[in-house]
Amino acid sequence: MSGHVTPLYECDGVQGSEYARPARFPHQSRSVQLAKHGMVSTSHPLAAQAGLDILKAGGNAADAGVAASAMMGLVEPMSCGIGGDLFVIYWDNQSKKLTGLNASGRSPKKLTRDVFKQHNMSQIPLDGPLSWSVPGCVDGWEKLLARHGSLALNELLAPSINTAHEGFPVPEVIAGYWASAADALSKWTGSTQTFLPNGAPPTEGTLYRNLELAESYQQIANHGKLAFYDGAVADKIIAGNNEVGGYLSHNDLATHTSEWIDPVSTNYRGYDVWELPPNGQGIAVLEMLNIIEQHDVSAMGPKSVDWLHLFTEAKKLAFADRARFYADMSMADVPVEQLISKEYAKRQNQRIDRQHAATNVDPGDPLLSLGDTIYLTVVDKDDNCCSLIQSNFHGFGSKIAPPGTGFVMQNRGALFSLDENHPNALEPGKRPFHTIIPAMVTKDNKPWFCFGVMGGDMQPQGHVQVLVNMIDFDMNVQMAGDLARVCHVGSPTPTGLPTASGGGELLVEAGINDGTIRQLEQRGHQVKRAVGVFGGYQGILIDPETNVLHGATESRKDGAVVGF
C-alpha cells in the first residue's frame, strides 16, 4: 500500500519501524547526546556525573576535568590514578588559544642502564619497581587549575573522597579488567591489601571501598601537590619503594615538575587537528592524516578493502618513524616539524603499494640526511574545552601499590630503550616515550571537536579512524566511534627491540565482513578477528551553527556522556 510503513516492533503501544533510526547509521549503538550548557564524556558514569556536578555548580572545563579524573582514579584503578601520568590539551575560549600540558614524570636519578646489565636484562620488565617513573598526575591537576581553573582542589576532590568512603558498585567491563590482573596483584602486599579485598577482586555489582585512597586524596585536598611529592603520601611511596627494592627517592618526587607546551597540528581537509609533540605519540596521527589526505577516501567507503589497506600502510610508515625518532624532547633531537610536514607526507605516500602490504617497514628520512588508559573530555557553557588523558600504562601499572596509599605506581618506565644509541634510551631523570595522547580539532580558529581514543598503540589508529569517519564519511560523533575498527600490530616500538616480522597482523572487529578480509589477505595482510583491543573513545563536538554540544561515548566500555 502506498505510504505504508511496516512496523518492526511494538512496545507499550508505540510502534517502531525501519525509519526509527536514520538509514545512514543502522548499527549505531545509541543516539548522540545533545546539550547546551555543558557536557562531560568519560568511561564511567560516576566520573561523568562528578564532572557534570562541577559544571552545574559553576565550575569550568578545567575544574570538571580534574574532578572527573580523580573519580576515574577511584572507580577504574587499573587504568589510571595518581600513581600515573597525565596530558591535557585545553582550549581557553576567552583568549582563543590552545595550550598543552605534559604532566609526565621522569625516571629515578639512581636508575641507570648498568642496573639492567648487572641483571642480564635486555628489556625493562613490565611489572615491579624497575618500571617506575615519577607520577605526574597530581602536579598536572594543580598546574591545570592554576592556569585555567576556577575552583579549589579540595572542592573538586570531595566527591571522590566521599565515594571512596561509601563504596561504589563495580561495573561489568571494569570487573573483567580487575579479574584478569588478580594473579599479578597478589604478588605484592600493598596491592593485595588494597585491590583484592578478602583475597579476590571485586565482581560485577559488588561494592568496593578504598579508604586508603580516600586518605591520600584528603592529604592532597588539604595540602595540594606538596602532600604527594614532599609530604605524607610521598613518605608512603618511598617506604613502599624501599620495601620492594626500587630506585625512586624523595628527591625524585620533590623535584618533579610538569611542563606547559605548545600543541602541534596539521590541516586535514580544512580542519586543524591538534596533538602534543613527543615524548608522546600524537604526531603519528598527523603524519598518517597527511598521507591519507592525498587519496579520495570518501569514494572508497568506510569498510572497503581500499580504505583499510591505505590506512594500514600509512600506519606502518608513521609507526616506523615513531620507533626511530620519538623521545623526550628535552634530552633528544626530534624532527617534529619535518615529520608532520606535507612535503614529507608526499614522499612517504610514494612508498605505499596500493595492491600489496608492506613488510619490515623502515623509518623515513624526514631530515633528508638521515593496554590501559582513561580518556575524558569536557566542554563548559563558555566553550572552554578540556581534552584529558591519564594512565598507569598497563592494567594496574607496575602491579605495586605502596602500602597505605590506595593506588598503584605506573610502569611507564618499561617503554625506555636500553640501547644507548636510541633517542629513547633510559637516562636518569628522563621522561620515557608515552602512548597516551589527547586531541582536539579546530575550524576557523574555533573549537569543533574535543576527543580521544584510549588504548596503547591503538590510540593514533583510533584518532585517525574516528576523524576519517566524521570528515570523509560524514558520520555523527557517536557512529564515528561505533563503526567497526581495525588495529594493526607488529610495528617496531620505541624500545628499540625487534617485533613481529612480515608486516605484522591486522586485527579486525566483527563488523568487517569475510569478503573484505579475504581481499585484504590477497593483498598480503595477515588478518585476524579480535575483541577488546580497539580502544575507548570519548568525544564532544560543538555545532558551529547552533553551538549545541553533540556528545558520544565508547560503546565498548562502561562509560557515559552527560550534559545539561
Residue 478 gets the label, from left (phi > 0), alpha (psi -120 to 50) or beta, of alpha
Apex 388 CA angle, 264 and 449, nearest 5: 65
- 3-class SS of residue 378: strand
C-beta contacts of 346-354 below 8 A and 24+ residues apart: 346/294, 348/287, 348/290, 348/291, 348/314, 348/317, 349/291, 349/294, 351/317, 352/291, 352/310, 352/313, 352/314, 352/317, 353/313, 354/306, 354/309, 354/310
Task: Report the C-alpha gap between 78 and 65 in whole angstroms.
Answer: 19
Task: Report the C-alpha gap between 75 and 169 in whole angstroms.
Answer: 9
Task: Report the C-alpha gap between 379 and 491 in whole angstroms.
Answer: 35
- 3-class SS of residue 101: strand
In the numeric block, which cell numbers belong to residue 298? Answer: 570518501
Catalytic, 206? Answer no
Nearest one of 462, 516, 521 to 487, comparing CA atoms: 462
Tell me, rounded to whole angstroms, the distance of Cα 205 from its chain centroid. 26
Reading across the β-sheet that carries 39-42, which strands appear in turn?
A: 259-261, 97-103, 85-92, 385-393, 372-379, 39-42, 560-563
Task: Report the C-alpha gap between 93 and 383 in whole angstroms.
Answer: 6
Determine contact, residues 137/88, Cβ cutoff 8 Å. no
Determine contact, residues 328/430, Cβ cutoff 8 Å. yes
Task: Report the C-alpha gap between 49 and 273 in whole angstroms.
Answer: 28
Determine contact, residues 432/107, Cβ cutoff 8 Å. yes
Write down the residue that cell numbers 566500555 correspond to: 557
DSSP string for residues in 312-371: HHHHHHHHHHHHHH-S-TTTS---HHHHT-HHHHHHHHTT--TTS---SPPP--TTS---
Nearest one of 383, 452, 104, 449 to 260, comparing CA atoms: 104
**Given the DSSP bridges, would you call strands 264-268 and 271-275 parallel, antiparallel or unpaired?**
antiparallel
Residue 124 gets the label, from left (phi > 0), alpha (psi -120 to 50) or beta, of beta
Helices (H), strands (E): how many in the chain?
A: 19, 21
- First-residue to last-residue Cα distance in the chain: 43
Active-site annotation holder among 163, 266, 373, 553: 373
Nearest one of 66, 234, 50 to 147, comparing CA atoms: 66
Would you please indicate which residues are annotated as catalytic (active-site) residues? 373
